[in-house]
Structure 1
Amino acid sequence: MTEFTNLEPIASFCGKCNCGCPQLFVDGSAPVERRVVLTDDFGQRVQMSADQFSSLVEDAKAGRLDAVIRA
């Protein structure tokens, strides 16, 4: 497992509690294809490139992910 020691916090997706909310980080020391790190409140991590994250953000802005919150 990769050691996460150089994480720069970018955003927290709850922030209304102290439960280990999902967070977004950038790991400047990680390979380019794994630089963006998403963590969940269960201790899991997803790593992706900035291009992959940009695509996700673009889809969200365009409303293509809205069905997820309506489910």
Structure 2
Amino acid sequence: MTSDHNMRHVATFCGQCSCGCPELWIDPDAPEEKRVVITDDFGQRIQMSVGQLTDLVADVKNGVLDELLIPS
């Protein structure tokens, strides 16, 4: 079990409102495979390793998700 009080905030996605925007956190006390935490505005969370986040960021930079952003 991880302890939220030691989590370090990295980024807020949106931040233009008070709706509880998704946020990216690092939990230094979590096991390596759950160190990165993404929370959403519905109280849910995704946990992944730093390696998985690195792969995700690389894919985004390489355009893997670009089709999702193009209106059809």
Q: With the length of structure 1 as denominator, give the TM-score of the two structures.
A: 0.90
SS of structure 2 residue aligned to 1:5? helix
Structure 2: any 5+ residue segments left out of the alignment?
A: none
Q: Number of aligned pairs? A: 71
Distance 1:32 1:24 in 2: 16
Q: Does 1:7 align with 2:7?
A: yes
Output the aligned Cα RMSD. 1.5
Correspondence for 1:42: 42
Correspondence for 2:27: 27
Distance 1:58 1:43 in 2: 27
* Equivalent residues of 2:2, 2:27 under 8 A apart: no
Identity, in percent, stands at 54
Distance 2:58 2:18 in 1: 29
Structure 1: any 5+ residue segments left out of the alignment?
A: none
